Copies of this chain bind each other. A is one copy, B any other.
Amino acid sequence: MNQEKIVISIDAMGSERGPKAVVDGILQSAEMNPNVEFIVHGDEVSISKLIENSNLQSRCQILNSSDLVSMDDKPSQIVRNGKNTSMWSAIESVKQGKAQVCVSCGNTGALMALSMFRLRRLKGVNRPAIACLWPSVSKLGYNIVLDVGADIKADQDDLFQYAMMGLNYARKGFGIKKPRIGILNVGTEEHKGRSELKLAYDLISSASDKEGFEFVGFVEGSDIPSEEVDIIVTDGFTGNIAIKTAEGTANLISGKMKSAFKTNFFSGLGGLLAASSLIKLKKEIDPRQVNGGIFLGLNGIVIKSHGSADPTGIASAINLGITLAESGFYDSENNAERPT
């Protein structure tokens, strides 16, 4: 446990649900974490009103920003002209050492571009990655997948670094002592797949003893939610297709399930009786519970919460940031060096 005061910097203006959802999320998290302080960036007047009379008032600083990043803004434009946005300001608090973690629900591309521009990459890291928590049958309830979309390319060295970043994240964020790492491929045989995957196989495999993880080799798309692996390494193109395909599949099934329960009286009644169990199920595979893609490979922790996340989801992203800050995650992240 790190003894430093934990401060979380939050962009209040990025949510599709408006600043109220973000502030409600902060309130939820603040209640669970009485020693944590917050810096909230955005429209000072509306944020002040939202936290009036709450227990947050005494441990929350509001920094006014006159502008905000919209979902349609191009990342390059924000890097050039975004100085007055709440997103920029939120990252700045981390850069200046006033906060350990930045949380934003805003435009992913702009958040990554600004994070790279202001915080810079860790020494030795070529491409930062976005790691997500993937609902799974493991004891933890999810596995770590990276990269899910920071960069559309990754060579063997990038994939090796993703493995090391994921390793540190699994240890510091979730207390997994000896994580199991796999590389996403089209088959589990060693000779399968693209050449950079085979090279990454050798690099990661040879580091397992020294770094204290278990290498499970190649895994397939169907293995992502399995209990045989904790960390799944892939390039950002493939990872992004995979995560969105899973989302589409879950939506397809839940849509079909709803119409199935509407079919006749008995199934409607059945659905009603089963409701509490289905709500429990929904919670288990609910992205809100595991909300928060994390940007790895930067000089600072940046967490991207889903743009449409509700207060519970936003609180969950903030809580993840608090756990990482407490674990000293940031101090130790720059161990992602290639084995010599």
Which applies to chain A's interface (DSSP): helix, strand, loop or mixed? helix
A63 to B40, CA, bound (A): 76
A136: which B residues are within 8 A, CB to CB? 252
A243 close to B (CB within 8 Å): yes
Among A22-30, A216-224, A313-321, the stretch in contact with B: A216-224
A226, chain B: closest CB distance, angstroms: 7
In the complex, whether A246 has a CB less than 8 A from a CB of chain B is: yes
Chain B proximity of A283: nearest CB distance (Å)? 10
In the bound complex, do residue A246 and residue B246 qualify as a contact, i.e. CB atoms below 8 Å apart?
yes
**Contact present for A221 and B245 (CB under 8 Å):** yes
Q: Is A14 an interface residue (CB 8 A)?
A: no
A281 within 8 A of B: yes
Closest residue on chain B to residue A186 by CB atoms: B240
Interface flags, A285-304, vs B, CB<8A=1, else 0: 10000000000000000000
A221-B242, A244-B220, A260-B278 given as contacts; is B194 within 8 A of A237 (CB)?
yes
B221→A240 contact, CB < 8 A = yes
Pick from A31-39, A44-52, A268-276 the stretch touching chain B: A268-276
Interface size class of A (residues with CB under 8 A): 35 or more
Q: Are A223 and B194 in contact (CB under 8 A)?
A: no
Question: Which single member of B260, B270, B272, B284 contacts A280 (CB below 8 Å)?
Answer: B260
Neighbour of A267 across the interface among B236, B276, B284, CB < 8 A: B276
The winner among A223, A237, A276, A285 for most chain B CB atoms within 10 A is A237
A184 to B242, CA, bound (A): 11
The verdict on A225 contacting chain B, using a C-beta distance below 8 Å, is yes
Judge whether A135 and B270 touch: CB under 8 Å: no
**Is the CB–CB distance between A267 and B277 below 8 Å?**
yes
Whole-angstrom CA separation of A275 from B260 in the bound complex: 10
Kindly list chain B residues whose C-beta atoms are within 8 Å of the C-beta of A184. Answer: 241
Please report which residues of chain A, range 187-241, place their CB below 8 angstroms from some CB of chain B when the two chains form the complex.
193-194, 220-226, 234, 236-238, 240-241
Docked CA distance A194–B276 (Å): 45
Q: Does chain B have a CB within 8 A of A3?
A: no
Q: Are B240 and A237 in contact (CB under 8 A)?
A: no
Known: A261-B274, A266-B273. A244 touches B221 (CB 8 A): yes
17 example contacts (A-B, Cβ-Cβ < 8 A) are as follows A152-B194, A186-B237, A194-B237, A220-B241, A220-B244, A221-B241, A221-B244, A241-B241, A246-B248, A260-B274, A260-B278, A263-B276, A263-B280, A264-B276, A266-B276, A270-B274, A270-B277
Q: A221-B240, A264-B277, A266-B274 are in contact. List 7 more A-B contacts (CB 8 A).
A: A137-B252, A153-B194, A221-B241, A225-B252, A238-B241, A260-B281, A267-B273
